[in-house]
Amino acid sequence: MAKKEKDKLSFKATVGNAWYAMTLTHMICPSLIFHAFFLWLMNFGEWVFFDGVFMRVIVEALDKGRGFEPVFRFILISSAIFGTCSIYSNYIENVVFPLRGNRLYGGLYKMLYEKARNVELKCYEDSDFYNRYTMAMDGAEEKVMAIVKGILGAGLGVIAALVDFYLMYDIDHYAILFILSPFVGNFVFGNIMNKLNFRKYQDQAPNEKVLNYVSRMMYLPDGAKEIRLSEVFSLMKKQYREATNKNVLIAIKYAFKCASMNFLRITFTFTVIFEGVLIYAIYRNRVTGTISLAELTIMTSLMVAMTWVLIRLFDNIMEILKNAMFINNIKGFLEYEETLPEDYDGDMPDSEFKSLEFRNVSFAYKDKEIIHDLSFVIEKGQTAALVGHNGAGKTTIIKLMLRLYDPTKGEIFYNGRDIREYNLKAYRDIFATTFQDYELFGMSVKENVLMGRHYENEDEKIIEALKKAGVYDRICSLKSGIDNVMTREFDDEGAVLSGGESQKVAVARTFIKDAPMKIFDEPSSALDPIAEYELFSNIMKEGEDHTMLFISHRLSSVKNCDKVFMLEMGMLIEEGTHKELMAANGSYAHMYRKQAMNYLAIENEEEVVV
């Protein structure tokens, strides 16, 4: 689609986007609309009254030699009205708008955050979707408020302009022709300038994401050690410099066009109407003598009022046009139709775990098939393991199992029913899961383990879970124990744990949750061999009362599993117990022997030599 056609379509959508912003505001904070309406009513009313009525009454009174008393009384009453309006205007600007703006901010971001939480996981792995999300979140409340003010200002501005137009027409029919110049300046050149600015913003958005990422990495502790112990800082500087240079080139690309349109906009909006009317009025008074000095004064005053009314009118229209383009991001994000929404409803699953089956499951990500025709069954009470080289699809299988993704082909069954028939939240509550790429939050240890859940005697349960994970002694050494804040994001005394200790806290989340099936995705990747042995001993004990599934890159930890599934390139190539797979002398046995040699493991000869 050509750029011109896109702009045309975008312009057609402007009205809908603007109305959408008004609808959001009315839903979140309707009083904001009420106060904005009266603010504009007073502003435009003041301009029209002062230049169209007040000045006319004063000049005509002086011209006709009326007495001082009625003029003074008129000035006094007008001043009282102006003063009252000024106080109310200041109250709206400095009290109402900040307070109502915060309410709008809170309500709008609540909607955006809830939507962000409800969209499917793949959205966060899509850079285009992420760009739209960041643009939607970028000053959303400011853009919505600007449109609300713009719509009300434009509506009342039209009424004020018509009144001024009538008053000016009453003095001189031809003077109103000068009013056309602001229309040209704003609607033609101003509209072109806004479209150029929006295109520039879109072009620079990917580079801004890079700049924000580099800036974030410079003050977060995550990469601090690597930055100091390597030359990665030079690479980050290169990323930052390249993104900056790209933004500069984009700015240069649009600079002349934007500057030209801005020059033409200002010329037609201000210069032509101000200087033109003044010269024309002087000509009528001094050369042709067709208007009096009083009429010249009134006409000039009316033109000043008309100019400012039109300027504010067009500014409001331009604000609508400009921000409606940005509102399109908010509207598009909030109206996005999730393919797998988090609030997906369905039947409630059985709390008793009987079986979980993958039946001919395939999964493609961005047209690349990752899982190929996968079939296996995990029965109640079994301890199963997924093993294989990196990239074999092990974590993807867990995500499919938890319905973070849906299969491209095939079905997954829980207790004999397709998992797509179940209420999503209730289905996921069947599982307690620790992912390898876990996240610890800037909250207390207790909150990091509970993750928003609550239990009876929860402190005791937390301590028990931390003990099973092998990190309780370390937590006890903290100043506030389980109430100690983790990370120093918000607290200078926050706990900064090692990688292994942090991983154990994440594992404690799975131990504490009372779920029929527990999943551990590489739970020992950051642990030393002794800590790993102790952790897997506790995991196997947990398997006495639960169905278990875990991923481990160290095959020595899966020897006691009831089932081992060997994966390669997204396909199940071997299945059985450790002894069965060793006897088969296939890929699993080959990998096991290589690891045994690498780790200098002491194994029973019958297991190592087949």
What is the residue-wise DSSP string for 222-272? GGHHHHHHSSHHHHHHHHHHHHHHHHHHHHHHHHHHHHHHHHHHHIIIIIH
Residue 318, in any domain of the structure: no
Residue 524's closest CA among 502, 506, 503?
503
Token digits of residue 525: 């990747």
Token digits of residue 280: 């024309």
For the sheet with 517-521, list strands across it. Answer: 431-434, 517-521, 547-551, 383-388, 563-568, 571-576
pLDDT at 2: 39
Helix, strand and coil content of the chain, in percent to the nearest 5, comes to: 65, 10, 20
Residue 316's closest CA among 573, 104, 578, 39?
39
Residue 321, in any domain of the structure: no
Phi-psi region of 521 (alpha: psi -120 to 50; beta: other; left: phi over 0): beta
Looking at 499, 529, 545, the residue that finishes a domain is: 499
Phi-psi region of 65 (alpha: psi -120 to 50; beta: other; left: phi over 0): left
**pLDDT per residue over 219-259, tens digit each?**
666 666 567 666 778 888 888 999 999 999 999 999 999 89
Question: Is the alpha carbon torsion for 552, 557, 558, 561 positive or negative?
Answer: negative
Residues 590 and 559 in one domain: yes
Q: Do 405 and 345 touch, CB atoms closer than 8 A?
A: no
Residues 110 and 32 in one domain: yes
**pLDDT per residue over 460-499, tens digit each?**
999 999 999 889 999 999 888 999 988 877 777 788 888 8
**What is the C-alpha separation between 437 and 398, in angstroms, rounded?**
13
**What is the C-alpha separation between 34 and 518, in angstroms, rounded?**
54
Residues 274 and 178 in one domain: yes
Residue 602, in any domain of the structure: yes
User: Exposed/middle/buried for 254, CB within 10 Å: 0-12, 13-18, 19+?
Assistant: middle
Looking at 334, 369, 392, the residue that finishes a domain is: 334
Stated as kind and residue range, the H or E segment containing 378 is strand 368-379
Query: In one letter, which amino acid is 491?
Result: D
**What is the C-alpha separation between 168 and 302, in angstroms, rounded?**
6
Measured between its terminal Cα atoms, the distance across the chain in Å is 66
Domain that holds residue 461: 440-499
Residue 310, in any domain of the structure: no
Residues 103 and 217 in one domain: no
Residue 292's closest CA among 55, 49, 63?
63
Residues 140 and 180 in one domain: no
User: Exposed/middle/buried for 77, CB within 10 Å: 0-12, 13-18, 19+?
Assistant: exposed
> In sequence order, which residues have a C-beta less than 8 Å from that of residue 487 and are 6 or more positions away?
221, 440, 441, 442, 494, 495, 496
**What is the C-alpha separation between 564 and 560, in angstroms, rounded?**
9
Token digits of residue 349: 């699953």
pLDDT at 598: 61
Stated as kind and residue range, the H or E segment containing 410 is strand 409-414
pLDDT at 219: 66
Looking at 305, 334, 363, the residue that finishes a domain is: 334
Long-range contacts of range 467-476, CB-CB < 8 Å, 24 or more positions apart? 468/508, 468/511, 468/538, 468/542, 469/504, 469/505, 469/507, 469/508, 469/511, 469/535, 469/538, 470/504, 470/531, 470/534, 470/535, 470/538, 471/501, 471/504, 471/505, 471/508, 474/501, 475/445, 475/505
Residues 160 and 187 in one domain: no
Angle formed by the axes of helices 68-91 and 30-48, nearest 10°: 150
**pLDDT per residue over 21-57, tens digit each?**
999 999 999 999 999 998 888 888 887 887 777 777 7
pLDDT at 188: 84
Count of Cβ atoms closer than 10 Å to residue 428 Cβ:
19
Stated as kind and residue range, the H or E segment containing 608 is helix 605-608
Residue 467's closest CA among 534, 413, 558, 410?
534
Residue 347, in any domain of the structure: no
Low-confidence ranges of the chain (pLDDT < 70): 1-11, 219-226, 228-230, 293, 526, 598-610
Residues 165 and 88 in one domain: yes
Q: Is 113 helix (H, G, I), strand (E, B) or coil?
A: helix
Q: How many domains does the chain have?
A: 4
Residue 350, in any domain of the structure: no
Token digits of residue 474: 């370390």
Residues 186 and 154 in one domain: no
Residue 317's closest CA among 163, 180, 104, 156?
156
Residues 467 and 422 in one domain: no
Q: Which residues of 404-421 are buried (b: 16+ CB within 10 A; e: fewer)?
A: bbbbeebebebbeeebee
**What is the C-alpha separation between 466 and 460, in angstroms, rounded?**
10
Long-range contacts of range 6-15, CB-CB < 8 Å, 24 or more positions apart? 7/195, 10/195, 10/325, 10/328, 11/321, 13/324, 13/328, 14/320, 14/321, 14/324, 14/325, 15/324
What is the residue-wise DSSP string for 309-372? HHHHHHHHHHHHHHHHHHHHHHHHHHT---SS-TT---BPPPSS--EEEEEEEEEEETTEEEEE
Residues 284 and 229 in one domain: yes
Residue 213, in any domain of the structure: yes
The DSSP symbol for 413 reads E
Residue 306, in any domain of the structure: no
Residue 387: beta bridge partners? 566
**What is the C-alpha separation between 262 and 521, in angstroms, rounded?**
58
Residues 520 and 594 in one domain: yes
Residues 258 and 375 in one domain: no
Q: What CATH number should be reported for the domain holding residue 400? A: 3.40.50.300
